[in-house]
Amino acid sequence: MLAFTSGKLIGLIILLFGLSLGPEMALADDPTTAELATAINTMWTLLAAFLVFLMHAGFTMVESGFTRSKNTVNIVMKNFMTVALGVVIFFIVGFGLAFGADKGGFLGTTGFWLAQTEGMDFGIPLLAFWFFQAVFCATSATIVSGAMAERTRLMSYLVFTVIITAFIYPVVAHWVWGGGWLQKRGFIDFAGSTVVHSVGGWSALIGAALVGPRLGKYGPQGEVHPIPGHNIPMGALGTLLLWFGWFGFNPGSTLSGTTPAIASIATTTLLAASAAAIASMVFSWARYGKSDLSLTLNGALGGLVAITAGTAVVSPTGSLIIGMVAGLVLVLAVEFFDRVLKVDDPVGAVSVHLVCGALGTIMVGLFATEGGLFYGGGAALLLTQLIGVVSVGVWTSVLAFISFKLIDIIFCLRVPKEEEIEGLDLGEHGMQAYNFKLATEVIAGEEAEGLLQAGQARRPVGQGA
Amino acid sequence: MLAFTSGKLIGLIILLFGLSLGPEMALADDPTTAELATAINTMWTLLAAFLVFLMHAGFTMVESGFTRSKNTVNIVMKNFMTVALGVVIFFIVGFGLAFGADKGGFLGTTGFWLAQTEGMDFGIPLLAFWFFQAVFCATSATIVSGAMAERTRLMSYLVFTVIITAFIYPVVAHWVWGGGWLQKRGFIDFAGSTVVHSVGGWSALIGAALVGPRLGKYGPQGEVHPIPGHNIPMGALGTLLLWFGWFGFNPGSTLSGTTPAIASIATTTLLAASAAAIASMVFSWARYGKSDLSLTLNGALGGLVAITAGTAVVSPTGSLIIGMVAGLVLVLAVEFFDRVLKVDDPVGAVSVHLVCGALGTIMVGLFATEGGLFYGGGAALLLTQLIGVVSVGVWTSVLAFISFKLIDIIFCLRVPKEEEIEGLDLGEHGMQAYNFKLATEVIAGEEAEGLLQAGQARRPVGQGA
Amino acid sequence: MLAFTSGKLIGLIILLFGLSLGPEMALADDPTTAELATAINTMWTLLAAFLVFLMHAGFTMVESGFTRSKNTVNIVMKNFMTVALGVVIFFIVGFGLAFGADKGGFLGTTGFWLAQTEGMDFGIPLLAFWFFQAVFCATSATIVSGAMAERTRLMSYLVFTVIITAFIYPVVAHWVWGGGWLQKRGFIDFAGSTVVHSVGGWSALIGAALVGPRLGKYGPQGEVHPIPGHNIPMGALGTLLLWFGWFGFNPGSTLSGTTPAIASIATTTLLAASAAAIASMVFSWARYGKSDLSLTLNGALGGLVAITAGTAVVSPTGSLIIGMVAGLVLVLAVEFFDRVLKVDDPVGAVSVHLVCGALGTIMVGLFATEGGLFYGGGAALLLTQLIGVVSVGVWTSVLAFISFKLIDIIFCLRVPKEEEIEGLDLGEHGMQAYNFKLATEVIAGEEAEGLLQAGQARRPVGQGA
Amino acid sequence: MKKIEAIIRPSRLEEVKEALGKFGIHGMTVTHVTGCGLQKGKTEVYRGSQYTIDLLPKVKIEIIIRDSSLEEVVEVILNHARTGHIGDGKIFIYPVEEAIRIRTGERGEEAI
Amino acid sequence: MKKIEAIIRPSRLEEVKEALGKFGIHGMTVTHVTGCGLQKGKTEVYRGSQYTIDLLPKVKIEIIIRDSSLEEVVEVILNHARTGHIGDGKIFIYPVEEAIRIRTGERGEEAI
Amino acid sequence: MKKIEAIIRPSRLEEVKEALGKFGIHGMTVTHVTGCGLQKGKTEVYRGSQYTIDLLPKVKIEIIIRDSSLEEVVEVILNHARTGHIGDGKIFIYPVEEAIRIRTGERGEEAI
Ligand SMILES: Nc1ncnc2c1ncn2[C@@H]1O[C@H](COP(=O)(O)OP(=O)(O)O)[C@@H](O)[C@H]1O
Ligand SMILES: Nc1ncnc2c1ncn2[C@@H]1O[C@H](COP(=O)(O)OP(=O)(O)O)[C@@H](O)[C@H]1O
Ligand SMILES: Nc1ncnc2c1ncn2[C@@H]1O[C@H](COP(=O)(O)OP(=O)(O)O)[C@@H](O)[C@H]1O
């Protein structure tokens, strides 16, 4: 690796003496082009990671917007703690399992608490790589909260967050990105349709099925009662923030700003999401008589999830097709889980992340310009992709099932019925998300007025001191 | 152009084998400084384009916030689809018209569906350039939705979005940035006060005039009934997101991160917006007795639009003046359209984008440090700027007029009166934007409770499995 | 410094002739590595500054979300004008005081209105440096609005904004970053726990104490009446935007993208905030029986403020501890100001910015890997840190006290009681923040319907023209 | 004294209020309510599932009035709230025993 | 005619409405209200300070009904609004002097 | 039994509620309403255009009470809702025929 050892020292000295030093700041010797390339790659990776971090704001907005206002504080808390807890757990445990020295192609064994990282070399500073991977890991975990929203205990959710960020996700990341068996087999999941999104999606499916549907979601004869989200523009803002963050998620996964591939990755990401949004809108319009915004927003996300695996290896036209397919399938998948399987997923997380994630990963086998079936590459890659999707699915769903069952026994997965009716915000947090008042409103402790008139000690200055 | 041909290949191989390769990632030969410069420029352009993308979240928030809650789903859908549809159409048609091989200074003729791009060279990878231009194009289109909000049919709006992104905007972009006649004439519109904002603004004006004012906006004697927006903090968030995105819009238009001009462009952008916000606040305070937040927010946007043309060629002091003028004129323009012309523009899009866009373009002729009238450059540039503003105005308004008239005949521009009263959200989408409920709320299908007690098959795990 | 003189000229010419020039765009001579390093550093600083700018959206959302809906327009206006006014004042006065030629280690004397900047050299273009410092300055100022929210006159607040950005903050910035006495003494405040946050926090404390508590906040026997914020998810969005912006605030303070330190700075920033959020959540849960989202969000901010001073000189483990301590102290500090001191701070600005800012600065003396007490560096650094914290505290609070007292005499600090009860939105702006309506709503001026039927001149096109 | 309670369409409120004002009635209390009756509910779609909102938004106007003005005021409301379509609403009349103006303590017809 | 005013738990609204529908009563007006009484308020926590919300959300159903149906309708409401816990609410009965359908001008029992 | 319906300023609600509580009245139903009358509307400005909001926010308190307590309760409300400025609101008294506690089925004065 291209080390900055001397630069680092000088850097520290500069830091110790403030920021405004002049020409001395320039390194004694001009940097080499290799050093500059590393700097560019580091910067790119960090900026991309910041965008991925912002995706957590996107998830928070989407999941609050598409659920009811009595559970908003709770869902915000879950999303917020996912990133806080997730990166700390990934620091302590997950990173080592994912990117430590390989053991049998199955998991990593060094790098816990960022110790024993000597041999590791990612072309950029270790911490830049770690940071990027940490926010990725938290992204996978946060998918679960949406599908299980409005009825899952905070404590139970947090325990699962620890499990997925400490173990379930890191092992899969090792298989595909950390030198594990799927990577060796040539499995292509560029930025994580499977590693990030399907892992989250499978967990979401198992969790939502085990925790059961929200009260009132299905009638006694199994009829479906829609439970509309309370704040659709908030959900739309979240979707746009996610889309924005995806420009870090996908192009940033190069870990390199010097490769011109970042331009085509950004392009396929943009086109797939757009095509998916169009497809979902048109399809929902045709199918239900009116264009459904919530499905259109989901559709764009489905397109983003689907392109994530192949973003670097498909053409712009390929990305348009992948997006379109994802947008159509998304609508059907939402219907399927909602009406046929009757798994209650308030925000469509399973359809977006699991279905479109698997679909997108498989479509790499068709659309990869090198090795894809439609480009004359035969079925070998397609088979590999299928193996990857299935094995990750089995791994994740088995572990998620065991985890949720154990959590249920120990902590109880679901809040009590009364709390669910009243809302988790009051039950778990003693707090309400909104307090809209009339223009002239009731102020608490009106008696304070009398106090003011009586001339108390803490008379506000503004009253003519 | 500085090609990365070998790097690309290696990149692909790396992609195929995952991300965690070590030192091998470094190119066999160290990169040249020319290659690194291209990498920096590519990265800069892409990051800037991502910020421009985020402006669509800004538009969505501003336009929803400043309209009524019964039309929120509809306006969100319009904004969301503008970017999705816009980039796809620009991919298929628009880009070729704008940046393809020049035909008579009027339009481009190659590069449709990104084919036949051999000769093109923009100093950065083609797709990075395309991406930046695509989100620009969508920005121009999305301006229209705000001015026509709360009464325009979704279908009609979408058709116009196709027309403006396929033809109206690309032709203007060709004139000014694609080697067309205005560019050859020395017209300066650095980042698109005219190309992007006035094109959107003229279309918005024509559209708003043709669709007519919202029901109840003007009384029988022509008296003006204000129709306040439903969510001002959402509008403020949108404005700040737009401002943030503008730091991609303007400095990114260099397409180069190696030019130190990006610093001064960012600075003039910041100062103009700030001066405009101050001017609008003070002026509205003086004029109406109270400081008007909605005009202050509009003012900042007006300042941003105004500086966009000259951001690279005026001094910081020049930008302060341009911003101040824009902020003052904005307030008067809103009044003028609202009370004199009686064109109902719920969000002030025409005043912000058309008026301040034209104004800013013209002021380049005064404040350009090289060639500006106030800097001893004579009136030549000023004249050129005027010619540019007028010709783009004529082109756009004629085409917009014809388009809207045809759309009206074929699809009907406006929703039926009953639908407008009831709200477009229910009428066009069968959905409401908000469902705020009391803390303890009515759950749909309460009978599910009985079901739960009766011990049905899908008993939730949390109930003690 | 590595100048781009020739590049600049060429750049201007390019600008004058539009963007689509081809290969000619490449500089005649390939750039040197020193030039490229400057380009990378400039780009990094600007991008970081953009993120810092976005923090103003974060502040706006946090402060609106945690206050009542009758004061939302007012608090948005204050936050919005802080950045607009702040950067203009910093341009005119503040920058010179902070970074101009040093006078006795106390303040700068050149560079006002960006004139007389010849000698200055920051390793990046002057305007890039200025831009970064300008948005920093506005950040410090905007902290005050939250603590004084819901009762402070707009005019009085704006005057104080001018004072803090013109004088109070720039002088402190000079001491620590502009070559002043604290910098010379070796005081470490890498990105401004003290310079930015404590200066804002002290001003907030003095302001909140002088303006007095909101009506009804404290009962006649001093009992505390909580006044819940009106929109918690908005506050959460703001917190996440602030956290995101902090990745510009801290890593950007290197002013250098070529130093690998940016990776470790980003990492310590992420870990400290996460640890703090966890600590606040767990502690509030243990202490109050339920996990408090508003304290958890505040906790994350407290962790960010605390790590800001030492972000570049502590280890990841150090950052975890600093964050954890900040998260715990935050909860106690909120209680202390609210119940013991009875200073009414609606958003917790004093606890977050002053307490955690001072704490974080002091903890550098313990955790700095070079010079920290816990790393065998002795107490020297710790002492220096204490001196810095105290002297900045004295300076700021004395000046803030005098300023607020004078403002109170001249403008009256507080709004009249009736206006406070009714809400500042109506009183100061004649406007309400929200206008949620039923699906079918009352349209203003229903008579317009009759007008439409009667076939008036401006008949909308959509009615079949 | 009587109480007139009119449940009308929200979109008629402005006109009714204005007409009452012209007639000399300025005091009234207005509440947003929801109602059902003969009028069919709205069918909405959410994520592909239809559902019916059978409680439709209405506005309730309450006016306490001296007995003598009753019929005329009812007439005014009828004329201005009517659209002729199902869902126009109802007027109910109740007896009132007393009215008191809080500010002055005045009672009876003085107070309204 | 009588007015039945039932103040019930929000979570019982759907069931009561359905039961009334089955019974043949479709016309009603529903308002979101808050109330206090024997039922204890909710204690909430905000930033470490507790406070009590003593006005709890309730739903008010108003039905104007011919005298003859009164008792039966009351019975239906009682049966379906009851949970047996404090806070179930009340039913109040008031006299009504007149009812008018705005759309047609019909009066009296025809109108409801 | 009587129904006291007091339309008061929102800012007086807490005090009135407390005073009633001290007096022994705990049961009441509270609704957010808007009203107009002698009190002038608020003029607001939006984007430079003025407009008047003539429906001002008020709070309606409904208390069903035994006849004997009527005058005293009215007195309590009058004393605590009064500010002396126009817009203080009204108290209206209505006859009540029956009251039923849903939880127990109790009727009459027992129920309230
Ligand atoms: N029996 C009733 N008691 C109370 N309110 C009623 C009754 N019948 C109707 N309403 C109210 O009147 C509104 C309109 O009634 P509806 O039967 O739909 O139409 P119309 O008044 O044209 O016959 C309803 O939405 C409801 O609020
Ligand atoms: N005297 C009263 N007048 C008006 N409304 C009342 C009265 N007493 C109770 N209520 C209403 O009935 C609701 C339930 O009453 P409460 O005393 O809490 O329980 P319960 O009805 O089970 O005895 C209250 O929230 C309030 O809305
Ligand atoms: N005739 C009426 N019928 C019903 N409500 C009324 C009537 N007159 C006044 N009100 C209610 O009382 C409130 C206060 O009345 P207003 O005339 O403004 O002041 P004041 O009570 O001091 O005379 C009004 O906002 C309205 O809600």
Give first-to-last CA distance, chain C, whole Å.
67
Q: What is the pLDDT of residue C73?
A: 98
Please tell me if the CB atom of residue F37 comes closer than 6 angstroms to any atom of ligand 3.
Answer: yes
For B321-355, b where at least 16 C-beta lie within 10 A, e where not — what string?
Answer: bbbbbbbbbbbebbbebbeeeebbbbbbbbbbbbb
Residue nearest to atom 13 of ligand 3 (CA): F89
Cα A31 to Cα B143: distance, rounded to the nearest angstrom? 46
**With bands split at pLDDT 50, 70 and 90, how would you rate the model's confidence at B26?**
very low
Question: Which of C278, A433, C215, C337 shows the shortest CA–CA distance to E46?
Answer: A433
Per DSSP, helices labelled H in C311-355 are: 316-335, 349
- Would strands F56-65 and F49-53 be described as parallel, antiparallel, or unpaired? unpaired
Average pLDDT score over residue span A122-136: 97
* Cα A340 off chain centre by: 27
pLDDT in tens, B410-419: 999 999 998 9
Give contacts of B438 with chain E, Cβ < 8 Å.
Answer: 10, 32, 57
Q: How far is CA A410 from CA A159, A293, A413, B423, C173, in A?
A: 11, 40, 9, 49, 53
The winner for highest mean pLDDT among A315-324, A437-446, B114-123, E18-27 is A315-324
Per DSSP, helices labelled H in B69-125 are: 72-89, 95-99
Q: Note the ligand closest to the C-alpha atom of F32.
A: 3
Average pLDDT score over residue span D74-99: 96
3-class state of residue B27 by DSSP:
coil
- Would strands F42-46 and F49-53 be described as parallel, antiparallel, or unpaired? antiparallel
Q: Which amino acid is at B241?
A: L
Which B positions 327-356 lie with beta carbon below 8 A of chain F?
Answer: 331, 334-335, 338-339, 348
Q: Is F94 on the interface with D (CB under 8 A)?
A: yes
Return the half-sphere exposure (C-beta side, CA atoms, 13 A cut-off) of residue A206. 23
Torsion of CA B222, B223, B229, B235, to 10 degrees: 80
Burial of C420 from C-beta contacts in 10 A (0-12 / 13-18 / 19+): buried
Q: What is the pLDDT of residue E41?
A: 82
Question: Which of A393, A367, A376, A397 shows the shortest CA–CA distance to A188?
Answer: A367
Q: What is the pLDDT of residue B453?
A: 30
Q: What is the pLDDT of residue A20?
A: 36
Question: Which of B17, B344, B321, B59 shows the shortest CA–CA distance to B197?
Answer: B59
Please tell me if the CB atom of residue F62 comes closer than 6 angstroms to any atom of ligand 2.
Answer: yes
* Cα B191 off chain centre by: 12
Q: Where are the beta strands (DSSP E) in C85-210?
A: 102-103, 107-108
Tokens of B6: 């070998």
Q: Quick one: closest CA in F to E90, which residue? A: F101
Tokens of C268: 């310590």
0.90 surpassed by complex ipTM: yes
CB count within 10 Å of CB D64 equals 22
pLDDT in tens, D3-12: 999 999 988 9
Tokens of E46: 């905000």
Residue nearest to atom 13 of ligand 2 (CA): E89
**With bands split at pLDDT 50, 70 and 90, how would you rate the model's confidence at B239?**
very high
| Residues 6+ positions from A21 with CB-CB distance below 8 Å | A14, C123
**With bands split at pLDDT 50, 70 and 90, how would you rate the model's confidence at C107?**
very high
Q: What is the pLDDT of residue B11?
A: 38
Distance from the alpha carbon of residue E60 to the mean position of ligand 2, in angstroms: 11
Would the pTM count as exceeding 0.90? yes
Give first-to-last CA distance, chain D, whole Å.
9
Give contacts of B237 with chain C, Cβ < 8 Å.
Answer: 57, 60-61, 237
| Residues 6+ positions from D83 with CB-CB distance below 8 Å | D9, D12, E103
pLDDT at A21 over 60: no
Q: What is the pLDDT of residue A238?
A: 98
- Do E11 and A421 make contact, defined as CB atoms within 8 angstroms? yes
Contact indicator for A44, B43 with CB cutoff of 8 Å: yes
pLDDT in tens, B176-210: 999 999 999 999 999 999 999 999 999 999 999 99
**With bands split at pLDDT 50, 70 and 90, how would you rate the model's confidence at C358?**
very high
pLDDT above 90 covers what percent of chain A?
85
Torsion of CA B302, B303, B305, B309, to 10 degrees: 150
Mean pLDDT, chain B, rounded, equals: 89
The winner for highest mean pLDDT among B320-334, C414-428, C448-462, D37-51 is B320-334
| Residues 6+ positions from F23 with CB-CB distance below 8 Å | F72, F73, F76
Return the half-sphere exposure (C-beta side, CA atoms, 13 A cut-off) of residue A162. 8
Q: What is the pLDDT of residue B460?
A: 30
pLDDT at C15 over 60: no
pLDDT at B278 over 60: yes
Cα F5 to Cα F91: distance, rounded to the nearest angstrom? 6
pLDDT in tens, C115-143: 999 989 999 999 999 999 999 999 999 99
User: Which partners does chain D have (≥3 C-beta pairs < 8 Å)?
Assistant: A, B, C, E, F
Q: Which domains does chain A have, with CATH numbers?
A: 39-109+117-217+230-420 (1.10.3430.10)
pLDDT at B12 over 60: no
pLDDT at B21 over 50: no
Output the DSSP codes for C70-99.
Answer: GGHHHHHHHHHHHHHHHHHHIIIIIHHHHH
Q: Which residue has the higher pLDDT, C305 or B22?
A: C305
Give contacts of C51 with chain A, Cβ < 8 Å.
Answer: 50
Output phi, psi for C9, to 5 deg: -60, -55
CB count within 10 Å of CB C397 equals 19
Average pLDDT score over residue span C278-284: 98
Per-residue pLDDT of chain E (112 residues; tens, 9 = 90+): 999 999 999 889 989 999 999 999 999 999 999 999 998 887 888 898 888 888 888 999 999 999 999 999 999 999 999 999 999 999 999 999 999 999 999 999 999 8
Cα B44 to Cα B47: distance, rounded to the nearest angstrom? 5
Q: What is the pLDDT of residue A440?
A: 35
Contact indicator for B208, B148 with CB cutoff of 8 Å: yes
Minimal Cβ distance to E48: which of C225, C228, C334? C334
Return the half-sphere exposure (C-beta side, CA atoms, 13 A cut-off) of residue B87. 34
pLDDT at C5 over 60: no
Q: Where are the domains of chain F?
A: 2-111
**With bands split at pLDDT 50, 70 and 90, how would you rate the model's confidence at B288?**
very high
**Best mutation site among F2, F29, F70, F77 for ligand 2 pocket (most ligand atoms within 8 Å of CB):** F29
pLDDT at A449 over 80: no
Distance from the alpha carbon of residue C228 to the mean position of ligand 2, in angstroms: 26
Q: How far is CA C126 from CA C3, C105, C133, in A?
A: 11, 22, 11
Average pLDDT score over residue span B349-373: 98
Minimal Cβ distance to C442: which of D11, D42, D53? D11
Q: What is the pLDDT of residue B1?
A: 29
pLDDT at A462 over 50: no
Please tell me if the CB atom of residue D36 comes closer than 6 angstroms to any atom of ligand 1.
Answer: yes
- Do A289 and D45 make contact, defined as CB atoms within 8 angstroms? yes
Average pLDDT score over residue span A339-352: 97
pLDDT at A446 over 50: no
Residue nearest to atom 12 of ligand 3 (CA): F89
Cα B173 to Cα C346: distance, rounded to the nearest angstrom? 49
Residue nearest to atom 12 of ligand 1 (CA): D89
Please tell me if the CB atom of residue E7 comes closer than 6 angstroms to any atom of ligand 2.
Answer: yes
Q: What is the pLDDT of residue C422?
A: 87
Q: How far is CA C9 from CA B35, B40, C3, C6, E83, in A?
A: 22, 19, 12, 5, 82
Q: What is the pLDDT of residue F42?
A: 79
3-class state of residue E107 by DSSP:
strand
Q: Number of D:F CB contacts under 8 A?
A: 78
pLDDT at A412 over 70: yes
Q: Which amino acid is at A465?
A: A
Q: Is D85 on the interface with F (CB under 8 A)?
A: no
Minimal Cβ distance to C438: which of D10, D14, D15? D10
* Cα B99 off chain centre by: 20
Q: What is the CATH number of domain F2-111?
A: 3.30.70.120
Shortest alpha-carbon distance between residue F101 and chain D (Å): 23
What DSSP character marks residue E111?
A: G
Give contacts of B426 with chain D, Cβ < 8 Å.
Answer: 42, 44
Per DSSP, helices labelled H in A148-250 are: 154-163, 169-177, 181-184, 199-211, 232-249
**With bands split at pLDDT 50, 70 and 90, how would you rate the model's confidence at B170?**
very high
Contact indicator for B164, B362 with CB cutoff of 8 Å: no
Contact indicator for E65, F83 with CB cutoff of 8 Å: no
Cα C173 to Cα C99: distance, rounded to the nearest angstrom? 8
Q: What is the pLDDT of residue F48?
A: 87
Q: Is C281 on the interface with E (CB under 8 A)?
A: no
Question: Which of C40, C7, C245 shows the shortest CA–CA distance to C136?
Answer: C245
Q: How far is CA A212 from CA A170, A202, A344, A425, in A?
A: 27, 15, 7, 19
Question: Which of E46, A284, B133, C464 shows the shortest CA–CA distance to D47?
Answer: A284
Average pLDDT score over residue span A361-377: 97
Contact indicator for A379, A365 with CB cutoff of 8 Å: yes
3-class state of residue F35 by DSSP:
strand
Distance from the alpha carbon of residue D36 to the mean position of ligand 1, in angstroms: 6
Distance from the alpha carbon of residue C446 to the mean position of ligand 3, in angstroms: 24
| Residues 6+ positions from A141 with CB-CB distance below 8 Å | A82, A86, A161, A164, A165, A169, A200
Question: Which of B62, B37, B263 shows the shortest CA–CA distance to B143?
Answer: B62
Minimal Cβ distance to A294: which of D47, D50, D51? D47
* Cα A60 off chain centre by: 10
Element (H, E) at B405: helix B380-411
Minimal Cβ distance to F51: which of B226, B295, B348? B226
Element (H, E) at E90: strand E90-95
Give contacts of C287 with chain E, Cβ < 8 Å.
Answer: 48
Q: Is B440 on the interface with E (CB under 8 A)?
A: yes
Which E positions 35-54 lie with beta carbon below 8 A of chain C?
Answer: 44-51
Q: What is the gyration radius of the CA atoms in chain D, in angstroms?
A: 17
**With bands split at pLDDT 50, 70 and 90, how would you rate the model's confidence at A180?**
very high
Residue nearest to atom 8 of ligand 1 (CA): E27
Distance from the alpha carbon of residue E28 to the mean position of ligand 3, in angstroms: 26
Q: Is the dihedral of CA B44, B45, B50, B51 positive or negative?
A: positive
For A21-57, b where at least 16 C-beta lie within 10 A, e where not — what string?
Answer: beeebbbeebbebbbbbbbbbbbbbbbbbbbbbbbbb
What DSSP character marks residue E41?
A: P
Q: Is D28 on the interface with F (CB under 8 A)?
A: yes
pLDDT above 90 covers what percent of chain C?
85
Mean pLDDT, chain C, rounded, equals: 89
